[in-house]
Structure 1
Amino acid sequence: MDQAVSILTIEDETAVRRSLVAHLEDLEYDFIEAANGVEGIEAFNRAKPDLVLCDLRLPGMDGLDVLSTIAESSPDTPIIIVSGANQVSDAIQALKRGAWDYITKPIVDFQILDTAIERALNRARLIKENRDYQKHLETLNQELSIALGQLREDEEAARALQSSLLPPPEVQYGDYLFRRKLLPSLLLSGDFVDYFPIGNHEVGFYIADISGHGAASAFVTVMLKTLFEKHLDAYQHAQEEVVRQPHEMLDHLNRAIYQSPIEKYLTIFYGVLDIREHRLRFCSGGQFPYPMLFTGEQVTTLTSHDKPVGLFEDSIYTQHQIDFQPVQQFLMISDGILELFPRDSARRRTEWLQQMVSRGAPTIEELVDRFDIEQMDEIPDDIAFLSIVRGERNE
């Protein structure tokens, strides 16, 4: 059960103070009373309330001085002035000194007060959440900076670390066999794939392509894995469901990567497959080539035009859902595959890719053979494959 919100009321007129306290009690707020400014400051320091209601005309210590003292010591605590001094100059002075709102007495309609309290508490909550999130990002950035230095010192260790983060080459979830293969152009890869169970009947999966090459790009794959595991752990502890909603997950990734000290961005396709209902929720952050669906003899693509992740702070991601029942195979390949075709327009190279892929529902190994990838001395760009096949197949 959430802890009740506590409100400190600083008011010298007993009848007015009792009226306010009675109203707060009816709304199930915890309340603290103070009859003057000095008592109010002492009560605030002792109880640390979530919100303060304060009169301006107080005996001894003036309400503006009380306001200044509290605002200086605790700027994130909402302070609402409730005063009979109905003068514009008073309101301006109060707002300048840190008041969050100003309400005049007598209060004829308590809904005005209720709305002001609710608005102030919501704003305070958002400020706290943002500060906590910024603190988390700062900690994460420090950890990333340390880890990045370690990666640069020992790329072999980095490759071992990156490989350890990949899922098994193939895993069966219900009726679906998940397979992956990662072919780096250098020692470290900027491509990454992953799949993992979410609860009892859903599987999350993604393919990502980090901008650039080398240790910095590879490190973003570590960051990516860490962020997904953070939200998966939060879901498993019933704290949130972000990892189940692809558009929310990409929104969180976009903010974290945009604000990270590593100047990288990525394209990503993230899907959540309900293996019991055979439905797919998905969201694409600029991933290309588009994922391919094999249904019998037909091959279709899931087109999407959302922006890459981490490139723009205000990017908005759209979630889609499709019936996965007729799908025999779902295939995703990173854009490194397009570098194996002659230099031409992206559209033309995509057409060539679909021609190569559309001969049946090929396995990953069959595709590697078709493109003669493993016979090359070096490949021009990282290539990642992620395949989901309905029912188990033997390669």
Structure 2
Amino acid sequence: MSKANSQLLVIDDDAIVRDSIVAYLQDSGFEVLEAENGEHGLEVFQQHTPDLILCDLRMPRLDGLGVLRRVREESPDTPFIVVSGAGVMADVVEALRLGASDYIIKPIVDLEVLEHAVNRALDNAELVRQNQIYRESLEDAIASLRESLDVLREDQKAGRQVQLKMLPPQPFLMGNYFIDYKIWPSLYLSGDFVDYFAINEHSFGFYLADVSGHGASSAFVTVLLKHMSLSLLQEFQAGDMDRLARPSVVLSAINKNLLASELGKHVTVFGGVVDTRTNQLTYSVGGHFPQPILSMGGQSRYLEDRGLPVGLFPDVDYTDITIDLSGPFTLTIFSDGILEVLPQETLKEKEQYLLSVINEQADSADAVMSGLNVNSLREAPDDIALLVLGGNAG
């Protein structure tokens, strides 16, 4: 919340102190309301619902604690900073217990300290508000997933529609980056899954997962993967910055949860996070094969590292690898079902064929599948998923 959009209420019975605080905060860019006592302060609060209240504790008739109690009854989340003399710390403790955001000790020698406290309280209130919005949207998403899971168990056709709805909209665009994908199920339901999501204003995460087996049981695990990724994103938004910023931590968490589910299913995963400020990709591999193909500067190569499948072995340590994405590039990721439909006989020949095709045309999922002559594929012995990440961060 910017200063220009923030309205403050200053309540103090000492006119000299109140005037100095109001003048300083106005000079700092805030819109400031004022009241000379607690009762007047409550009237102004109810009329204008300011973004923050700055209130003296010791006032006649209705003191600061009384004002705080009344404000908390009507608006539990409004930031409330108390101003107290040095000799009444017991009241400060009580104010903090009642939900005050911060306190300032009189006399206020340096008004910059006051401004800092105001900015900090406003920032914290905005974070609480954003987290509340996210929690509500996450609860709706989880409720939708639970309803979807019930439908999936009852009817495969309806389940297919549900699974399609869980897939992210495409194409995904952030800055100079895009993501495109395609999925072909071998049965009506797919054990392959892709997802991507904005993490914050300058980074996004993505993954391609291939669940062992086929059909409804494998599709069920894709629902769990979607649920787990939403939960991890919630933790990240709540302040656990390590969870999604490091793909290896995400794979470890999914590995632990899949083992605990005792479904007898494991997943091969390639997951990454792109930072659009540094133009870097940090990725982690959980048994994914074939390795993703990076095309940059007129050359294509397979990325390093394979790792162990997710949900198969306990206490697996996954690693993070960071690469530079500056300049035009595409990163093409397949599930292993693609190898089943290529005409070459040996694995080495299939891998070389993938490299040669992608080196020529890999700017979209359709272009890749057209180059491989499988764009019109109707039946396949295994699920096939394809995700293309590209960009031009010159």
Measured after TM superposition, the shift of residue 270 of structure 1 is 0.7
Distance, in Å, in 2 between the alignment partners of 1:371 and 1:241 is: 39
Q: Letter of the 2:182 partner, please give it.
A: K
Q: State the identity %.
A: 38
Aligned pairs (5 A) from 1:221-236? 221-236=222-237
Measured after TM superposition, the shift of residue 384 of structure 1 is 1.1
Q: What runs of 5+ residues in structure 2 fail to find an aligned partner?
A: 1-143
Distance, in Å, in 2 between the alignment partners of 1:265 and 1:278 is: 32
Distance, in Å, in 1 between the alignment partners of 2:163 and 2:329 is: 30
Distance, in Å, in 2 between the alignment partners of 1:331 and 1:177 is: 12
Q: Letter of the 1:273 partner, please give it.
A: V
Contact 1:176 1:391 in 2 (8 A): yes
User: Which residue does 2:200 correspond to in 1?
Assistant: 199
Distance 1:257-1:147 versus aligned 2 partners, 3 A rule: farther
Aligned pairs (5 A) from 1:38-77? none
Show CA shifts across 1:220-267 (max 9, x none): 111001101101011112145311111111100000011113110010
Distance, in Å, in 1 between the alignment partners of 2:196 and 2:291 is: 18
Distance, in Å, in 2 between the alignment partners of 1:390 and 1:155 is: 37
User: Which residue does 1:363 correspond to in 2?
Assistant: 364
Show CA shifts across 1:52-76 (max 9, x none): xxxxxxxxxxxxxxxxxxxxxxxxx
SS at match of 1:220: helix
Show CA shifts across 1:186-228 (max 9, x none): 1111111111111110110101100000001011111001101
User: Which residue does 1:346 correspond to in 2?
Assistant: 347
SS at match of 2:208: strand
Distance 1:370-1:158 versus aligned 2 partners, 3 A rule: same
Contact 1:148 1:216 in 2 (8 A): no
Is residue 300 of structure 2 the alignment partner of residue 299 of structure 1?
yes
Distance, in Å, in 2 between the alignment partners of 1:225 and 1:235 is: 15
User: Which residue does 2:155 correspond to in 1?
Assistant: 154
Measured after TM superposition, the shift of residue 291 of structure 1 is 1.0
Distance, in Å, in 2 between the alignment partners of 1:388 and 1:258 is: 30
Measured after TM superposition, the shift of residue 376 of structure 1 is 3.5
User: Which residue does 2:387 correspond to in 1?
Assistant: 386
User: Which residue does 1:260 correspond to in 2?
Assistant: 261
Aligned pairs (5 A) from 1:175-194? 175-194=176-195
SS at match of 2:326: coil
Distance, in Å, in 1 between the alignment partners of 2:184 and 2:356 is: 21
User: Which residue does 2:38 correspond to in 1?
Assistant: none
User: Which residue does 1:283 correspond to in 2?
Assistant: 284
Show CA shifts across 1:279-312 (max 9, x none): 1111000111111111121112212131000010
Is residue 168 of structure 2 the alignment partner of residue 167 of structure 1?
yes
Query: Structure 2 length as normaliser, TM-score?
Result: 0.60
Is residue 252 of structure 2 the alignment partner of residue 251 of structure 1?
yes
Measured after TM superposition, the shift of residue 374 of structure 1 is 4.2
User: What is the aligned residue count?
Assistant: 250
Distance, in Å, in 2 between the alignment partners of 1:349 and 1:234 is: 41
Distance 1:301-1:376 versus aligned 2 partners, 3 A rule: closer
Measured after TM superposition, the shift of residue 348 of structure 1 is 3.0
SS at match of 2:360: coil
Measured after TM superposition, the shift of residue 183 of structure 1 is 1.5
Query: Structure 1 length as normaliser, TM-score?
Result: 0.59
Distance 1:310-1:326 versus aligned 2 partners, 3 A rule: same
Is residue 201 of structure 2 the alignment partner of residue 208 of structure 1?
no
Show CA shifts across 1:308-363 (max 9, x none): 00010121101111111135111111111111124744333222222222224342
SS at match of 2:179: strand
Distance, in Å, in 2 between the alignment partners of 1:203 and 1:144 is: 22
Is residue 314 of structure 2 the alignment partner of residue 313 of structure 1?
yes
Q: Letter of the 2:333 partner, please give it.
A: M
Distance 1:374-1:360 versus aligned 2 partners, 3 A rule: closer
Show CA shifts across 1:366-393 (max 9, x none): 222233334344122111111122149x
Q: Letter of the 2:180 partner, please give it.
A: R
Q: Letter of the 1:349 partner, please give it.
A: K
Distance 1:298-1:165 versus aligned 2 partners, 3 A rule: same
SS at match of 1:372: coil
SS at match of 1:328: strand
Distance 1:197-1:147 versus aligned 2 partners, 3 A rule: closer
Q: Letter of the 1:325 partner, please give it.
A: S
Distance, in Å, in 1 between the alignment partners of 2:361 and 2:163 is: 32
SS at match of 1:221: helix
